[in-house]
Amino acid sequence: MDFSALCGQFLVGLSRAMILFVVCAGLSFVLGVLRVPNIAHGSLYMIGAFATFTVTKLIAGSVGFWVALIVAPLVVALVSLVAERALFRHLYQREHLMLLLFTFAISLILTDLVKIVWGAEYRSVSPPDLLKGSVSLFGASLPRYNLFLLIIGPLVAIAIWAFTNKTKIGKISRAAAVDREMVGVLGINVSWVFAVAFVIGCYLAGVGGALVAPTASITLGMGHSLIIEAFLIVTIGGLGNMWGALVGSLIFGVTQSLGILMWPQFAIVFPYVAVVVVLVLRPQGLLKAVW
Amino acid sequence: MFEEVVRSKWSIFSAGLLLILLILPSFIPRFYVYLLALIFVTSLLAMSLNLVVGHGGLFQFHHGVFYGVGAYTVALMLKKTSLPLWTGFVAGPIVAAVIGLVIGWFCVRLTRLYFGMLQISLGSLIWVIVFRWYSLTGGDDGIPGIPVPAILSPAKNSYYFILIVLVVCLILMYLILKSPFGSTLQAIRDNPQRCEAIGINVRRYQLAAIVIATFFAGVAGVLFVVLERSVFAELLFWVLSLEIFIMCLLGGWFTFAGPILGAAIMVALRTFVGIFTEYWTLILGIMLILLIFFLPEGVMGFLQKLFQHRTKDTAERGQG
């Protein structure tokens, strides 16, 4: 195993971690503000990927992908807004177990709706011309698209940080995460704060789905396999903590890609082992949980 | 006395149901014999989960793993070793309980959602290993064509075997729940702090409950192999675990027999809806939402409440 291979694999792991981070940041945000462990988040991610496929089919050429990167998350946000206003908002007072099963029900419905709309075949999206090919970095060759992911990830992190710390609605939703009754007492419409927070979290799932589309085949099972990873990442990072989601994603992505070098057949085992180790040593997560 | 009347009514009902189930295979087509046996296996699985969820108040999110471990253990022993056939039947539940002990030992140190998350991660670890270890477990192909003992190969014989094991397990579970251990477990569910304060070792009780529940899940896994003669990695995937959860919710967590009803409804619906449409999960999702909105205590909980109201009314009228 030479150094450049290690380096290249590490960078690939980092870029995969960036997609995980975008999805997990959304999941974590919803979990922190609304206290909803949203299993449907994985299905929304899947819808994001399928919507990206449709947009790139409708708009030929590499401009299609850039349009999809804007449009697909908006589609997801719209779906989540409808779900929130019609169903979720009646259930926030229920216990976690009921909420979990409820979001599972939503994810089952969304999966079948995707099957109805897009069919059960595998789909794929090719990256735009600008991001095809690969670049050489630290002696390792890295696909340009992965480099793009490495840039996008930190940008999303900064955007989320700016939103939660610098905008009014972001500050209100942080306050609602800590004490929703107090926020209500102050005359703020908590119901709408929750709706906005939920839609933003789901929007991030859509962004993740759009970003993953050129790197993997788009299938009906992708939501179900992602959501479990996302939950584990959010848990080891500390529930509701955005930076925790980043740390967790890095651990998950990097252990998996380095695992490929060591033991390809069981590469997927490594991140799970890492999660178990973290949870056994620090059960409450690496960073401070919001609740 | 009122309770005794209700209980005797229940036992008459159960005995009648058992009698019907014993003679039924002679009259119904083979497919329905299979379907009933599948309901029995699933019922046992749901009942074992409810021991820790409904009665223990634990977020046992990944119960399917123990079912799968039980099934894979017996499958591997029947397929790959030359040990006496029945040893696999004993080993399945024991291995499941040992895995339950190991996973539970880590999990009981946490509470609520963190408990559930740690269990999902440990359970997924086992799923991933089974899913990837092609040379041993066949990976995503699973293990088809498991040679079950010859006496069990006719459909009717396996039906009776599964029914008898189910009844024995249900009686054992009932006795466990009615024992001081069961009462303590339910007290811990309702108020863990107070139980801790009066000197109950909460974690040890919870761990014991997990081991018992995973043992019964292993039994269900063995029965699954008897019925299907094949195993596959989906048995350990988290989606199945949540489906078992739904069965408990559907039937009613806080009743003894609720999960049986839930499992029966789920298995029957899946089979019959599956004939008409490929969108079974859509129907399941809608059903689950309706359930959460309108019937959060499950079918059995609802019926029990209805029944209790009515008997209370008549009792009051009798007194007045």
Q: How many domains does chain A have?
A: 1
| Residue B120 with chain A: CB contacts under 8 Å | 228, 231-232
Q: A82 lies in which domain range?
A: 15-221
Average confidence (pLDDT) over A114-131: 85
Determine, yes or no, domain membership for A36: yes
Nearest to B128 among A101, A224, A269 (CB): A269
Q: Determine the residue of chain B that is closest to A278 in CA distance.
A: B118
Q: Under a CB-based contact definition with an 8 Å cutoff, are residues B269 and B246 in contact?
A: no
Q: Does A92 touch chain B (CB under 8 A)?
A: no
Q: Please tell me the distance from the alpha carbon of residue A39 to that of residue B72, in angstroms, as a whole number.
A: 28
Domains, in order of start, for chain B: 34-319 (1.10.3470)
In degrees and rounded to multiples of 5, residue B59 shows phi and psi of -85, 70
- Residue B296, class by beta-carbon neighbours within 10 Å (0-12 exposed, 13-18 middle, 19+ buried)? middle
Query: What is the per-residue pLDDT for A90?
Result: 84
| Residue B279 with chain A: CB contacts under 8 Å | 112, 115-116
What tokens appear for A253 in the block? 């992505």
pLDDT beyond 90 at A216 = no
Determine, yes or no, domain membership for A21: yes
**Kind and range of the H or E run holding A244:** helix A242-262
Q: How far is CA B3 from the centre of its chain?
A: 26
Determine, yes or no, domain membership for A186: yes
Q: Ramachandran region of residue A36, left (φ > 0), alpha (ψ -120 to 50) or beta?
A: beta
A276–B281 CB contact, under 8 Å = no
Give Cβ neighbours of residue A160 (< 8 Å, ≥ 6 apart). A25, A29, A204, A242
In degrees and rounded to multiples of 5, residue A231 shows phi and psi of -65, -40
Q: Does A112 touch chain B (CB under 8 A)?
A: yes
Each residue of B129-148: pLDDT tens digit?
888 887 787 777 788 878 87
Determine, yes or no, domain membership for A170: yes
Select the residue from A34, A112, A277 to test the B interface by mutation, using most B Cβ atoms within 10 A.
A112
The model's confidence at residue A20, banded by pLDDT at 50, 70 and 90, is very high
pTM equals 0.86
Query: What is the per-residue pLDDT for A72?
Result: 92
Determine, yes or no, domain membership for A237: no
Query: What is the per-residue pLDDT for A291?
Result: 54
Identify the DSSP state of A286: S
ipTM score of complex: 0.81
The model's confidence at residue B320, banded by pLDDT at 50, 70 and 90, is very low
- Nearest CA to A252 out of A272, A267, A266 is that of A272
**Three-state SS annotation for B143-155:** ECCCCCCHHHCCH
